[in-house]
């Protein structure tokens, strides 16, 4: 990893830390999740960076891939367990990180267990160490505190304009025998569950990524494809598309265009991921660099 790449990753971490602090300050009872997401993303752009992926605001049993709809009216309740997952890109190099907010503090023990699991995982994330070791210590830490990891979710490598790269980092023992290599960035992402620790796909889809340009007859679909170049391959939100096309076409036409693009596999949908209703999911995440045989934690 050359010095310019390291500089870009570190700068992304600086902006990520500012975005997280903004979210912590603004996440008050009755705030519209739409306003919170838009505010975080505006801060990232105002800081001279780019949005790594749409801000994920997942509540209670929701684990990941939830971002507000355009002009969504959902508000934050005091009892909600809100996961704020933010990605910041500088020159394409991404810092990916998350916190959990619970205004009434009734789930403080679960959040603390998750934070300890992340800290313990980072402590063993060193050049040449097996990736599996991070997963094993995450599982051990959470179980000792009375919670389960989410077994079918985990961390991942990040690279230029690529939010899901090698290696895959499980939140449990077992799995890959791969070892951490020089010159990589890895998002370590423990998810803790008050339930059995297994997520499934929700029917809702608000986040997508570009796969490849294909011929389409639908004029709105063509227009959307032309809009995607500016995201440089990073995920985008349906609300971004609706915001840009507001007043230019109907919401129905936009929905039909997105369905057409999914059907022909020009874009990939990221369905919401959730535990069963009544279960609480917490998440914390930080991105590390393995460079010059050192472990650098971004955003600190």
CA distance 12 to 8: 6
Cβ atoms of 157 and 140 within 8 Å: the answer is: no
Per the annotation, the verdict on 164 as an active-site residue is yes
Per the annotation, the verdict on 107 as an active-site residue is no
3-state class (DSSP) for residue 278: coil
Looking at 41, 61, 96, 238, which residue is catalytic?
A: 96
Looking at 5, 41, 61, 189, which residue is catalytic?
A: 189
Looking at 65, 107, 156, 172, which residue is catalytic?
A: 156
Cβ atoms of 36 and 23 within 8 Å: the answer is: yes
Cβ atoms of 164 and 114 within 8 Å: the answer is: no
Beta strands in 171-240 (DSSP E): 184-188, 191-193, 200-210, 236-237
Cβ atoms of 62 and 281 within 8 Å: the answer is: yes
Cα 168 to its chain centre, rounded Å, is: 14
Which DSSP state fits 71?
A: T
Residue 263: burial class (beta carbons within 10 Å; 0-12, 13-18, 19+): exposed
Looking at 35, 115, 164, 202, which residue is catalytic?
A: 164
Residue 177: burial class (beta carbons within 10 Å; 0-12, 13-18, 19+): exposed
Per the annotation, the verdict on 156 as an active-site residue is yes
Per the annotation, the verdict on 172 as an active-site residue is no
Residues with Cβ within 8 Å of residue 213, at least 6 apart in sequence: 225, 266
Looking at 85, 132, 260, 275, which residue is catalytic?
A: 85
Residues involved in catalysis: 85, 96, 156, 164, 189, 285
């Amino acid at each position: 990893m050359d010095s310019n790449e390291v500089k870009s990753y570190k700068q992304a971490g600086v902006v990520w830390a500012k975005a997280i602090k903004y979210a912590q300050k603004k996440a008050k009872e009755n705030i519209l999740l739409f306003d919170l997401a838009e505010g975080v993303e505006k801060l990232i752009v105002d800081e001279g960076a780019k949005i790594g992926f749409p801000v994920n605001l997942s509540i209670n049993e929701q684990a990941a891939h939830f971002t507000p709809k355009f002009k969504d009216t959902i508000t934050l309740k005091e009892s909600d367990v809100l996961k704020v997952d933010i990605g910041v890109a500088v020159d394409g190099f991404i810092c990916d990180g998350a916190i959990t907010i619970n205004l009434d503090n009734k789930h403080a023990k679960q959040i603390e267990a998750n934070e300890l699991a992340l800290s313990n995982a980072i402590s063993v994330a060193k050049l040449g160490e097996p990736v599996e070791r991070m997963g094993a210590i995450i599982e051990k830490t959470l179980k000792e505190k009375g919670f389960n990891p989410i077994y079918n979710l985990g961390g991942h490598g990040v690279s230029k304009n690529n939010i899901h790269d090698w290696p895959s980092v499980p939140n449990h023992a077992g799995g890959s025998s791969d070892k951490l290599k020089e010159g990589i960035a890895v998002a370590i992402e423990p998810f803790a569950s008050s339930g059995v620790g297994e997520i499934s796909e929700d029917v809702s889809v608000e986040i997508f990524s570009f796969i490849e340009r294909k011929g389409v007859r639908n004029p709105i679909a063509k227009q959307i494809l032309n809009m995607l170049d500016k995201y440089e391959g990073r995920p985008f939100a349906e609300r971004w598309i609706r915001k840009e096309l507001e007043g230019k076409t109907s919401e129905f036409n936009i929905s039909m265009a997105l369905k057409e693009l999914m059907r022909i596999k020009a874009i990939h949908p990221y369905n919401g991921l959730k535990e069963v209703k009544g279960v609480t999911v917490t998440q914390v995440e930080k991105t590390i660099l393995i460079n010059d045989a050192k472990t650098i934690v971004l955003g600190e």
